[in-house]
Structure 1
Amino acid sequence: MASKEQGKMVVTLGTVHFKEANEAVREALDAADTVELREVFAQRYLGCGMPAGKRLEIHGVPGNDMACYMDGGRIEVFGNAQDQVANTMNDGDIVIHGRVGDAAGYGMRGGRILVRDDCGWRVGIHMKQYQDKCPSIVIGGNAGSFLGEYMAGGVIVLMGHAGPYLATGMHGGVMYLRHELDECDIPEGLVQEPLEDCDRAVIARLLGEYNDAFADELGGPVDASGEGFVRLRPASSRPYANLYA
């Protein structure tokens, strides 16, 4: 199942059960900093708890909860990814050369997710930030319903169109949308407004990283200037204050 090629471990998973798959991946990561996974067929929990300094290159479709609790390192998926990518992730980088399923970034506390194409429902739900920890998600295509639901911190950049119930319950963080919302579609308690210089700097950094990952596949870089984007944020830093005595 495992071999060493050009200084990195190569593990072929095939249809092996996810428990055996993860045991093989952990053994390979103990032996090398970079591990390439081939013939990945929806095995769950790949890269779970992976520390800084490690790298996974995944060829195929990883299953649910890839990179859950990840604490550093980098995972690159050459294909689509399933649901709950980066569940409660603390740090690290995830690059997906395709689309991602539902609830990516659930409770995410740090790190970054770059998605070349679309995403499913409830991406960025319960994202949060603290001090210098500021998670970010960049979505190159369209988003399903409830993007940024109950979002408490961090940054989401959406280049495609948002689905229904955008930012429901959002009470922290910021979204940058390339497609301005109609006034009637702005969720209660949020404001849509033009960018400031600090916003453009954030977008330039994140879309620059997006271009580094995907420009060759897309036939050229996307515009990273922030032109045409708007900012969506909570109108108040304490939107639920009236619910407490």
Structure 2
Amino acid sequence: MEIDAKNIHYRVLNKMIRQAVAQGEREFVLRNVNGHRYLADGLSGPITMDIFGTPGQDLGAFMKGPRVTVYGNVQDGAGNTMDDGKIIVHGMAGDVLGYAMRGGKIHVRQDVGYRVGIHMKAYMDKIPVIIIGGKAGDFLGEYMAGGIIILLGINSIYPQRPIAGIYLGTGMHGGTIYIRGGAPKEQLGKGLSPTKADENDYRLLEGYLREYCQDFNLDLKEILSVPFEKIQPATHRPYGKLYAY
């Protein structure tokens, strides 16, 4: 189903999509998207959605299964509390990408904003993954409880900036952040344990990055030619001693 979203209010557009899904439609192409909010929110099952333009806030929130490909940038909150499925962004992403994400994958070709991956979590066999091709703003992985973030720093429009902003991993008490080339120590939040990635890490990275490279037609060997730093919390209770009992 192809929809020209120009001059269609986002509520009307979302209603059209949900009605089509209820009638059995599983493939969507949306053109001239410009700030339309809540696209693919709460949708479940094997649905594909190709979006041309810039979707608005909360793209794919609470999504469980669909594959959404954006040929452009995305605004804040994409993948909010996402349960499963995949979001592929052929541009940049805004703030709080993957907030409380608990499953699925988000692949971004270029830079992302602030507080990406905040409150990410994993449960049983569900391991949410965010791969960022460019650089990230402040508070990447803040309060992260599970899942994986991979930061590459290769497709950035900000060549002079560090690969990540300040307070990376602040309050982090689970999960793993992998950074290609590492991050300056002064950018890291307290209570983190950065180490060099080992053989097991590279096996994991190769699997995730092979899929990422296929999405964006990138060279896997080139990406893996630079060592990765692995960042994990030193404790699961980073603020445990701040309170009286």
TM over 0.5: yes
Q: Who is 1:4 aligned against?
A: none
In structure 1, runs of 5+ residues without a counterpart are 1-8
| Secondary structure class of the residue paired with 1:223 | helix
Q: Does 1:47 align with 2:49?
A: no
| 1:156-176 deviations in Å (ceiling 9; x for gaps) | 000111112211111110000
Contact residue 171 and residue 238 of structure 2 kept, 8 A:
no
Q: Who is 1:186 aligned against?
A: 188
Alignment equivalent of 2:137, drawn from 140, 144, 152: 144
Q: Given the two structures, how large is their TM-score scaled by the length of structure 1?
A: 0.90
Q: Who is 1:3 aligned against?
A: none
Q: Given the two structures, how large is their TM-score scaled by the length of structure 2?
A: 0.90
| Secondary structure class of the residue paired with 1:57 | strand
| Code of the aligned partner of 1:236 | T
What CA distance in whole angstroms lies between the structure 1 residues aligned with 2:149 and 2:130? 5
Alignment equivalent of 1:11, drawn from 3, 12, 24: 3
In 2 relative to 1, CA 214–222 (structure 1 residues): closer, same or farther, beyond 3 Å? farther
Alignment equivalent of 1:207, drawn from 206, 209, 224: 209
What CA distance in whole angstroms lies between the structure 2 residues aligned with 1:111 and 1:230? 23
Q: Provide the aligned C-alpha RMSD in A.
A: 1.6
Q: Who is 2:156 aligned against?
A: none
Contact residue 139 and residue 158 of structure 1 kept, 8 A:
yes
Q: Who is 1:198 aligned against?
A: 200
| 1:65-91 deviations in Å (ceiling 9; x for gaps) | 010000112100011000000110111
Q: Who is 1:5 aligned against?
A: none
In 2 relative to 1, CA 90–228 (structure 1 residues): closer, same or farther, beyond 3 Å? same
| Code of the aligned partner of 1:24 | M
What CA distance in whole angstroms lies between the structure 1 residues aligned with 2:66 and 2:225? 28
Alignment equivalent of 1:59, drawn from 27, 33, 52: 52
| Code of the aligned partner of 1:223 | E
Contact residue 11 and residue 24 of structure 1 kept, 8 A:
no
Q: Who is 2:118 aligned against?
A: 125
| Code of the aligned partner of 1:208 | R
| Secondary structure class of the residue paired with 1:14 | coil
| 1:161-214 deviations in Å (ceiling 9; x for gaps) | 111221111111000001323344432110110112221122111111111110
What CA distance in whole angstroms lies between the structure 2 residues aligned with 1:117 and 1:78? 12
- More displaced stretch, 122-131 vs 192-201: 192-201
Identical positions, percent? 43
| Secondary structure class of the residue paired with 2:215 | helix
- 1:227 Cα shift? 4.0
